[in-house]
Amino acid sequence: MKVVYIANTCEHVVRPLCDGLYSEYGENFIFIETTELDKNRAGIGCLETRPYIFNAIGKEDEAKKLCDEADVVIFGGVSLDYIQKRISENKLTIYYSERMFKKGFYRYFNPITMTKVRKRFVNPSRNSNFHLLCASSYAALDFNRVGAFRNKMYKWGYQIEIREQDIDALMAGKPEDGLKFVWVGRLVALKHCDDAIRVVARLKNEGYAPRLTIIGSGEEEQKLKALVAKLGAEEFIHFKGTCKIDETRAEMDKANIFMFTSDFGEGWGATLNECMNSACACVANHAAGSTNFLIEDKVDGLIYKNGDVEALYQKVKFLVDNKAERERIARKAYDKMSNEWNPAKSYKRMVALIDLLLKTGNCELYKEGPCSKAYPIKENWYKD
- Return the beta strands (E) in the chain as ranges: 3-7, 29-33, 53-55, 72-76, 93-97, 130-134, 153-155, 180-184, 211-215, 237-241, 257-260, 281-285, 302-304
What pLDDT sits at residue 96?
95
Find out whether 215 and 183 touch, Cβ atoms under 8 Å.
yes
Length of the chain, in residues: 384
pLDDT at 43: 41
**Residue 329: what residue type?**
I
Any residues with CB less than 8 A from the CB of 313 and at least 6 apart, and which?
A: 198, 199, 202, 203
Tally of CB atoms within 10 A around 13: 19
Summarize pLDDT for 322-378 with one digit per residue, the tens.
999 999 999 999 999 999 999 988 999 999 999 999 999 999 999 999 999 999 999
3-state secondary structure of 152: coil
pLDDT score at 45 = 44
Q: Which of 381, 383, 377 is nearest to 138 (CA)?
A: 377
Please determine, for residue 38, whether its predicted confidence score (pLDDT) is greater than 80.
no
Asked whether the beta carbons of 8 and 96 are under 8 A apart, the reply is no
Residues 6+ apart with CB under 8 A from 195: 259, 261, 309, 312
Mean per-residue pLDDT of the chain: 94
- Measuring CA to CA, which residue among 215, 218, 229, 227 is closest to residue 190? 218
Report yes or no: 89 and 128 within 8 Å, Cβ to Cβ.
Answer: no
Q: What is the mean pLDDT of residues 18-32?
A: 96
How, if at all, do strands 72-76 and 93-97 pair?
Answer: parallel
CA dihedral for 55, 60, 65, 68, sign (positive or negative) = positive
| SS3 assignment, position 211 | strand
Region of 321 (left: φ > 0; alpha: ψ -120 to 50; beta: rest) is alpha
Question: What is the Cα–Cα distance from 321 to 177, expressed in whole angstroms?
Answer: 8
If residue 326 lies in a helix (H) or strand (E), which one and from where to where? helix 323-339
CA distances from 379 to 128, 238, 316, 373 (A): 28, 33, 23, 18
Share of the chain above pLDDT 70, in %: 97
Task: Give the tens place of pLDDT for each residue, 156-212.
Answer: 999 999 999 999 999 999 999 999 999 999 999 999 999 999 999 999 999 999 999
Tell whether the model's pLDDT for residue 244 goes beyond 70: yes
How many CA atoms within 13 Å lie on the side-chain side of 112? 0
pLDDT at 42 over 50: no
Lowest pLDDT segment from 98-102, 136-140, 320-324: 98-102
Statement: residue 48 has pLDDT above 70 = no
| Over residues 102-106, mean pLDDT | 89
Q: Cβ-count burial of 190 within 10 angstroms (0-12 exposed, 13-18 middle, 19+ buried)? A: middle
pLDDT at 47 over 70: no
| CA 228-232-234 angle, 5° bins | 60
Q: Mean pLDDT throughout 137-142?
A: 98
From CA 11, how far away is CA 29, in angstroms rounded? Answer: 16
The predicted model gives 15-29 an average pLDDT of 95
Query: Is the per-residue pLDDT at 97 higher than 90?
Result: yes
pLDDT at residue 39 tops 60: no
In this predicted structure, the answer to whether residue 120 has a pLDDT above a threshold of 70 is yes
Mean pLDDT of 71-87: 92
In whole angstroms, how far apart are CA 315 and each of 88, 297, 306, 312, 333?
A: 51, 11, 13, 5, 16
Residue 40 has pLDDT above 60, yes or no: no
The predicted model gives 44-57 an average pLDDT of 76
Query: Which residue did the predictor score with more confidence, 126 or 251?
Result: 251
Residue 28 confidence (pLDDT) = 98
